Structure formats: structure tokens, C-alpha cells
Structure 1
Amino acid sequence: GTPALVSGSAIGRDIVRIPLELVEEPFDLIDLDTGRKVPYQIVRLGDPHAPVPWAAERYTLGKVDPAHLVEIAFVAEDVPPVGYKTYRIVPAGVEENFATSVKVGDTTIENRFFKVFLDLETGAIVSIYDKELGREVVDRNAPHRLGQFVARWAESGKEEGLKSSKMTKGELGPVYGSLRVRGEGPGCPAIVQEVVLYDRIKRIDLANRLIKDPTPLLEIYFAFPFEVENPRFRFEGSCSTIEPLKDQFPGSNTDTYAVQHWVEVRGGGYGIIWTSLDAPVAEFGGLWPGYISQAHHGVTPPGYEHEFLRLGELKKSYIYSYVMNNNFRTNFQPIQVGDVLFQYCFTVHGGDLKARDFGWSAANPLIPVFMEGSKDGRLPALGSFCEVDKPNVMLLALKRAEDEDGIIVRLMETEGRKTTAGLRLSFAEVSRAMLTNLVEEDLEPLEVSEGIVQVPIGPFGIATVRCSANIFAISPWARNSCTLTLPRAARRGARSLR
């Protein structure tokens, strides 16, 4: 059989290249940890404009090597933190039909978690019903639909949406299904959007491919008008968690925010976690005029002199992803053009899901490593390279020291609590550890007992540790995988790999 190695610890979708002969003949995908058959889905790329990464490039290369047009999607369960899990592809006599909860209709798509309704006119989502929580997720009275393409002219403030939309069924299999919408809009002669639901993962993905021409003075947004009572926003900034308005100086800009990996809006006993994989600038509560300093904007947009929000005035649970601005004149291109892809994912929960875990998992998908035939090695079929015993502490870096004296581990506290975390390297026995500064200069020794390092970290603090260790199970591939920036908390639950 052929092993397929999955490394990482995040919910995600990534491409696994497989030989074409495996696609042409039936095969089983075996979880080597449990021995069970894993449902999988063969996905063939047939459209260079598909809203998936590198679609046009893969389509072109596929004319010479058809392997670029084929991928396998499956759900990898219980991949250890900063670790790996191995699957084996073996020939099978007959092709197995796996059951799925995903149903794709003309304007609807649903699974065991959600039922989603799309609007033919705008191509956007008018309703998402959460079957587990028994509630509507979309504000149906909002000025825009969820996932709607919104183009706003900088000079007049006039808004326009998708035109000539056409909806078609996308993928459908045991792992996921999708609906696709094609159309055009101002400055965008071609727009392709896709809504994806998974059979066993409570998450909705939205992908938007735009062909942007050099039309000037045009802003482009994607709308996410969620329905949350008395909403409270939080988002991840640069190594920080920020609550808009509350954590700002009075009078500071409330139009736009730079988001790292996640935004969470909570209220009424439930919450929504949203992440943008490609466009970091977001607006909360509404589509604001867009304040940019006099030195940077071109024409002055309507409402430019509006007052910023004050504490208690952020009343709507809307998120707008700000993807293009064609009104800059200093230090930026005045127009934006090209073939671009904007991807989003979000989930709904009853208050029991960490936003950090979802956001970092979505942004750091599992990494597939494909190998033909068995390989000699000392590592088991399942393993982790680093473990941290506190859920409010996450790994930022795991690498060799710059001076090659030991291994550097960098940790961050994420919930504002003074913490002492236990750190263990699964591939090595740590004999000595030193707390260092960010440039890896030793500061003081740390307690080490039975290979576990006790690392003190202040609220929202960062700690860098130099570990002197006897490395007894590691390879060049493992060293590369350990440099991934991944959260600890993805130890349990479903992981999807594409």
C-alpha cells in the first residue's frame, strides 16, 4: 500500500496529489492508528476559473500532466498537536459508497448542522438555519445578504452588487458539497463564488474569485450580516485580543480594523467565529464611510467627516470584509487589478468553542506528505513533536536556535492570565532550559523535571525558551513540520484535509 502522511494540528483543507492509476482503480484509505476505512472524495478540476487556489495554473499544467487536475479530500480525525498521522492507500476490489448528510439543491445546501438558502438575484445567502441550536444565523433585515459582493463608488457612495448571476451545483460527495454562483459586477467582469458545507465538520466556507479590471475609485466588500442579540465583538490583533471601542482610545478610528486570524461576535447565549484567509481588513457593525487620512485618500468620500463610534454604539453584529480600495494616492497603487481569490470560513457555537482554536486552525491547514511504498524510520504512525499543558498558552515557534545551541520554543498566553505552562518536546529529552529574550540571549534558568519545562508567562505575554536536549527521534521532514505556527487546542475533533 501507499502511505499518505498528514502533519499539523488544524482544521483545514489541503491538496493531496495521488497517482492517476489510484483514481482509475478502486482503493481504500486506511487510518493506521485505528485500522478503520476513511471516507474520501475524489475532486477533479475542470474549470480554470474555479474559486480554489491556483485553479488556472493547475488547469494549464493539467493539459500536460493530468495529475494536477485530481485531488483527494478526506477528514483526518484526532491529528495530535504539532504532530502527524499516517494513512495508507490500498487497492480494493470494488469502490465503496460512503453515506453523507450533505444535500445540494438548486438554491439550497444543507448538512447535519446547517440548512443554507441562497438568493438567485444576488447569488448571496439569505438564510442559515443552525439545526443544533435551532436558530437563524443571518439578519434577514440587513441591507445586504450574507456573502454578498458589494461595490461602492468612492465619489458618490453608490452601491452595486452582482449582476447576471447564475447558480449551479458544485461538488457533492461523502466529505463536502457546494453551490457555485457566477456573475459580474462593477470593475469585475467575472465573479465566481462558492458555498461549501462539510458532512462532519460544523463549518461553512465561502470562496470568491474576482477578475478585477483597472476601474478607478471603486471599493469592494463582502458582507456578513450575522444575527446576534446585544453583540459583543472580539478579534485577534498582533499577539493580542482586542474588544473594539472598549480597548481603544476615545476618538480613535472605528471604521476599519486589521484582523489576524479570527473575529468573534457573541450574545444571547451563542457566538459566531469568523475568519478571513486572504483579506485582513474588516469593518464591524455596518458599512462605514471609510476614514483614511487626508495624506492617503484621493477623492473625499461622502460621510468622510462622520463621528466615530463610542462605547455602547456597536449594536449590529455585522462584519464587512474590505478587500479592495481604489482611492489611495500615497504609498499605494491608485488602482488594484488582477485575478484574486478571497476565502472565508465561519462557525456557530453555543458558547463552548475557543475563537483562537478555530481561527488558527482555518489559517494553518493540515500539510499532506505523499510517499510511495514503505519507508524505514523510527517514528510511529501517530505522533506529536511538542505539547503544552495549558489551554490558554499557544505555540508561536519551534526551531533550532540561531547559534545552533539547542532548540528554541516561543509561547504566548492568550487569555490575559498569569500562567506557568508545562512544555514537553516529544522527540527529545530536555535536560536544561533557559528563558531568553526575543533575540535568543539567555536570561535565567528554568525548572526542568522528567523532561518537562516549567515556563512562566505573564498575561498576554510571550516567553522564549532555549532547550538543551538529547534528540532521539527526528528527521529533516519533522524539523520542517515543527516550524509550523499551530495551536495546541486542536488535539481533538475532526480535521479535514484536501
Structure 2
Amino acid sequence: LLDYDEHSVGSIVPWPGMFTQEQIEHDNDLRYGLAQEISQGSQALLQQGMETLSARLQGPEPDAVVFNPTSWARTDVASLPLPEGVSGPCQVCDEATDEVAPAQSTADGRLIFIAEDVPPLGYRRFRIEPAPAAQAAARAVPGDRIANGYFEVRVDQASGNLQISDLVAGRALVAEGGLPFNGLLRAGHQSTYGNGQYEVLPGRPLTVTVTSGPVATSLTIERAETPFVRTCITLYESLPWLEWTNVLDRSLMRHVPAREHSDLYFFSLPLALGPEELRLHIETGAGFLDPATDLLPGANGRGFSVQRVAALEEQDGYTALLGSRESFLVFAGSVLRAGPYPALQSGTLFAGAMGVAHEGQSKDKGVVPLQAGEPSAPNLHTFTYRLAAQATGFDPAAAARFGWELHSPLLARYLPGRRGSNALPPAGSFLTLDAPNVVVAELKRAAFGSQDDLILRLQETAGKPTRVAVRSAFPIREAWVASPTEEPQDEIAAEQPLVIDLAANAVITLRLRVDPASAASAAQE
């Protein structure tokens, strides 16, 4: 806490004249370093967990295990490095069901496939094998259109404008005649607090490439003479959403002098919804909130920090879901960052991407360049988004799962060596819940006390009181409701299943004393 001085120095740009150049650089280094430390630490924990799991799932190479880190059964894309010694098209065989599915190699040296019905907080084993000669490999094809059974995407090769259609609902998703969908906007710091003006940056495509394969079809737009260097849109054959990544090059963004503070970059997302009685649903740490009804009188209602997903709902119930991974700011109707929540006149959302500053006003050296911390990071920044639809009304539990799945992809790893006598079965779950509106927010070893204690945090996502049954592959010997800092408080019956009551939007912490030695036999059962 002593290292940070709330918002006075952070966000790269210091408050004018309050700090020395050394203090500015120190603070920016700390903040950027902390973000790097958290990212690297998280990846190390995931790697360690997958190594532990795969050691109990030994199998002949090139077998692989796919782990589902979410608390519901899931069909989603899995990704592995291309297996050594395998040439030509591949397929995967589910070792629990013997069902076969196609796999597809990607340009960056990965093998992707759709892993069907991976158990909640569990795993499924797959065998990688050569595909029949009739299966086509991924290939570049001419055109400006991609589609699956759910969405169609077209790009105008002259302007770069996108058109997106919901094939199930039979309707266009992009509003015509206004801002381009997924266009890059730049707004000065002062304008986002004043008149809300912005500039649409030109982004004429240099090349448009369509790649078609048995698992996924992608449309890649490469641009020239703009910071907006690339967009890649992907549709998976059996998944009901579209995903795209945008790549921005910081080195191509204009220099911002100290007197202008910073530039803010946004992606425009004009959705063909409304305009009558549009409702915005923002996922927060306390569940989904509707700014029109849930903000306090006089509260700022312009830009929102979104946990994982935002939703726009029409009067007839049709709802568009927008998930975002790297960026978390969503603005409705304009890029203004201050003022009351406006009555929505259109379905246009603005996804805040990044702020850029090059100079700051120090108290010892006047205007100084900002070089430490984030400005020293690689120039290319990637932003990932996902779009889906709900046809019959906003479903907060399904929307929450949609956001969790974007942030918590399936984890895949090749198995080491031959199968051992203590191996787990080819598919299994370590923990299940029977309420779709309750998710496992955290499952980990306790930070102190017995090494047999696990901390389980549950969150209710639909805004309604819920009773949930928790079934664990690890036999539970004792159980407590715990404080947020893991201290056991009220002991509860260690039954199987464990029955827990949650208030609307509540998070509850449980401390469970388990018998890890019995986990393998419990998973088998």
C-alpha cells in the first residue's frame, strides 16, 4: 500500500507538478511490473496445475488432456502445439466415448479442435491421430464472407466496413449509415470530459484473407498507414458466437504533448438494436446492473468498468452480448466519461481500448518524457472480443457463463509417457454444482492452516436467492462458512452433496477439509 498513491501518479500521466520525474517513473514501473508479475504468476500456476493433472492421466503420446476451469460442462475450442512427427490433417478421438472430431492446424503452429462436453471443473482425454485422406486441411479461399450456422460476416474490401447477420434470428446485427462496426476512434482526454468529440481513424484494408477449415473459418483484415494494423474474425463450426481480435501498434499513434494529457482509443460497435426502450446490462463484481435503474441519483453514468460482459436488450427481448478480454471499459451512446446516464437513443457501444501519453509535467524538471512502465512495453497490443445473441430475453446466468468462458479458455496439454496403474479415468469432474446461476469463483488450497483444507468461493449471478448442491470428488470431512480472509466461522454439515444457500448476487467463502487420497476413486465413481 505504501508503494502506491491512489490515482495521483498512475495511469501513466501524473497530476501536473505534483511529483518529480524519478517518482513518476518509479510509480509507472511499479504498476506495470505488478501487472506483469500477476500475469506471469497466473500462467505459472496454470502450468503447475496442468502438470499435476497430466501426471495422473499418463497415456501413450500423442494423447492430450483438456481441462475445463469453469464449474459447468462445456463444449469449446481447445488448442495445442502441433504434435511432433505428425504431418497432414489430424483428428481427435474422445477416449471416453470413442467419438471422432476433426482438428485443424493454424498459421501460428497450433492444433485446434472442438472438445465436446468437458465435465465441470474436470477433464477429458483425447487421442490425436491422422485424419482420413478425405478431410480437407485449412486453406486460403477467395472471398469477403465467412459463416457458420449462427452468424455471417462480410467485409467491404474498399472501405473495410463489416456487416454481421444473426442467421438464427434472421436479422442484421450492425446498424447501417453511421459509424463503422469495429472502427477505431481517437478522442483527446479533454474531449472525453467535455464535448465528446472523436475522430474516426481511416482503416482501408490492405489485404483481406479468408481461411477455411474443418473446425474454424477466419477473415483477416490487414491495414496500412494506421495504428489499427490487423483484425481477425473467427467463426467455429459448432459454436454459437463470433470472436475477433484487434491489433493496435502504439508506435504508429500520434505524439501527445503534455498540454493535451493523453489520447483515448475506442472501438465503435453500432448494433442494430432499438432505439425504443433499450436496456444496458453491465456485469460488475456484484452481478448485472442496469444503469437506468441501479445508479444512485447524480452518480456518474457514462463509462462503465465491465467485469467480463455487457448486454444490450431490446423491448422484444432480443439481446446482444459483448464479451471483452483485455479491455474493460464500455461507453453507451458516446465517449463522454462524465455526466448522468443518458437515455439510449441507439444501440451503439464504444469499447475503450487504451490511453496513450508521451509527456508529463513534473515538479522538478518541467515537461518530461514518459518512458518507464507501460510505454516501455512491446508496441503491439491485442484486444479480444466475442459477440453472441439471446433471442428470448436477457438471461444473466447464461450471460455470466458467456463472459467466464471468454476469460477462462479450456486448457490443453499433451500427456507424458505411458499410462500408469494409478491413472484417472479418461473423463471426470472434481466438483459440480446443480444451479446454473451459481459459479465457482475460486477453488484453491487454503493460505494457512491444514494442507488438507480447500477454499471454495461461490457466486450467485442471476440476482436471486438460490440453494445449490455441491458435489466434490474429494470426500469432505469438515466444512465451515469462512470469512473473505479464509478464517473458519460457522461449521456446517459435511454432507455429500454439500447444500449451500446464497443470497442474490452474493459471494460466499467455504473452507473445506478434504481427503485428497480418496480423490482418484471418487472421480472414478
**Does residue 112 in structure 1 map to residue 176 in structure 2?**
no
Shift of 1:26: 5.4
Does the CA-based 8 Å contact 1:236-1:242 persist in structure 2? yes
Aligned partner of residue 171 in structure 1, secondary structure: strand
**Does residue 341 in structure 1 map to residue 382 in structure 2?**
yes
Task: From 209, 212, 215, give the equivalent of 1:172.
Answer: 212
CA deviation string 1:203-237 (max 9, x = no partner) = 11111111112622432111111122332111211
Unaligned runs of 5+ in 1: 46-69, 292-306, 479-498
CA deviation string 1:222-281 (max 9, x = no partner) = 111112233211121124322123211222222211011111111123111111111111
Aligned to 1:200: 238
Aligned to 2:328: 280
Change (3 A) 1:25 1:106: closer
Aligned pairs, number: 425
Aligned partner of residue 265 in structure 2, secondary structure: strand
Task: From 395, 418, 427, give the equivalent of 1:374.
Answer: 418
CA distance in 1 between counterparts of 2:360 and 2:159 reads: 32
Aligned to 1:300: none
CA distance in 2 between counterparts of 1:453 and 1:234 reads: 32
Q: Which one-letter code corresponds to 2:319 in the other structure?
A: G
CA distance in 2 between counterparts of 1:275 and 1:254 reads: 20
CA distance in 2 between counterparts of 1:258 and 1:77 reads: 33
Change (3 A) 1:463 1:330: farther
> RCO (CA 8 Å, sep 6+): is it higher in 1 or 2?
1
CA distance in 2 between counterparts of 1:432 and 1:261 reads: 34
**Does residue 308 in structure 1 map to residue 350 in structure 2?**
no
Change (3 A) 1:221 1:132: same
Shift of 1:381: 0.7
**Does residue 4 in structure 1 map to residue 64 in structure 2?**
yes
Does the CA-based 8 Å contact 1:109-1:197 persist in structure 2? yes
**Does residue 209 in structure 1 map to residue 233 in structure 2?**
no
Change (3 A) 1:208 1:441: same
Shift of 1:152: 3.1
Task: From 420, 425, 438, give the equivalent of 2:467.
Answer: 420
CA deviation string 1:296-336 (max 9, x = no partner) = xxxxxxxxxxx5335xx1232221111122369699x9797
Equivalence map 1:85-484=2 (5 Å) = 85-91=124-130, 94-97=132-135, 106-125=143-162, 127-141=163-177, 143-154=178-189, 157-184=197-224, 188=227, 191-213=229-251, 215-216=255-256, 217-229=262-274, 230-267=277-314, 268-284=316-332, 286-291=333-338, 307-310=339-342, 313-326=343-356, 338-351=379-392, 354-376=398-420, 377-405=422-450, 406-426=453-473, 428-449=474-495, 451-474=496-519
Does the CA-based 8 Å contact 2:90-2:104 persist in structure 1? no
CA distance in 2 between counterparts of 1:103 and 1:457 reads: 51
Q: Which one-letter code corresponds to 2:92 in the other structure?
A: L
Does the CA-based 8 Å contact 2:282-2:304 persist in structure 1? no
Q: Which one-letter code corresponds to 1:347 in the other structure?
A: A
| Residue identity (%) | 23
CA distance in 2 between counterparts of 1:19 and 1:115 reads: 32
CA deviation string 1:106-151 (max 9, x = no partner) = 32222222222222344231x222221111111113x212111223
CA deviation string 1:373-407 (max 9, x = no partner) = 43223311111111112122111111122224222
Aligned to 1:297: none
Change (3 A) 1:453 1:116: same
Please report the RMSD computed on the Cα atoms of aligned residues, expressed in angstroms.
2.9
- Bigger mean CA deviation after superposition, 417-426 or 160-169: 160-169
Shift of 1:372: 4.5
CA deviation string 1:43-77 (max 9, x = no partner) = 123xxxxxxxxxxxxxxxxxxxxxxxx21110001
Change (3 A) 1:161 1:81: same
Does the CA-based 8 Å contact 1:398-1:410 persist in structure 2? yes
CA distance in 2 between counterparts of 1:90 and 1:173 reads: 17
Aligned partner of residue 20 in structure 1, secondary structure: coil
Task: From 98, 102, 107, give the equivalent of 1:35.
Answer: 98
Aligned partner of residue 402 in structure 1, secondary structure: coil
- Bigger mean CA deviation after superposition, 210-219 or 378-387: 210-219
Does the CA-based 8 Å contact 1:160-1:185 persist in structure 2? no
- Bigger mean CA deviation after superposition, 335-344 or 385-394: 335-344
CA distance in 1 between counterparts of 2:283 and 2:511 reads: 27
Change (3 A) 1:28 1:17: same
CA distance in 2 between counterparts of 1:359 and 1:330 reads: 39
Q: Which one-letter code corresponds to 1:343 in the other structure?
A: T
**Does residue 16 in structure 1 map to residue 80 in structure 2?**
yes
Aligned to 2:46: none
Q: Which one-letter code corresponds to 1:249 in the other structure?
A: L
Aligned to 1:66: none
CA deviation string 1:276-302 (max 9, x = no partner) = 111111111x223334xxxxxxxxxxx
Does the CA-based 8 Å contact 1:153-1:159 persist in structure 2? no
TM-score (norm 2): 0.74
Q: Which one-letter code corresponds to 1:199 in the other structure?
A: E
Q: Which one-letter code corresponds to 2:120 in the other structure?
A: P
Shift of 1:453: 1.2
TM-score (norm 1): 0.78
Change (3 A) 1:12 1:271: same
Change (3 A) 1:90 1:117: closer
CA distance in 2 between counterparts of 1:27 and 1:170 reads: 21
Identify, as 1 or 2, the structure richer in helix.
Answer: 2
Aligned partner of residue 201 in structure 1, secondary structure: coil
Does the CA-based 8 Å contact 1:109-1:116 persist in structure 2? yes
- Bigger mean CA deviation after superposition, 393-402 or 72-81: 393-402
Does the CA-based 8 Å contact 1:207-1:341 persist in structure 2? yes
CA distance in 2 between counterparts of 1:139 and 1:91 reads: 44
Change (3 A) 1:334 1:254: farther
Aligned partner of residue 44 in structure 1, secondary structure: coil
Shift of 1:85: 0.6
Shift of 1:447: 2.6
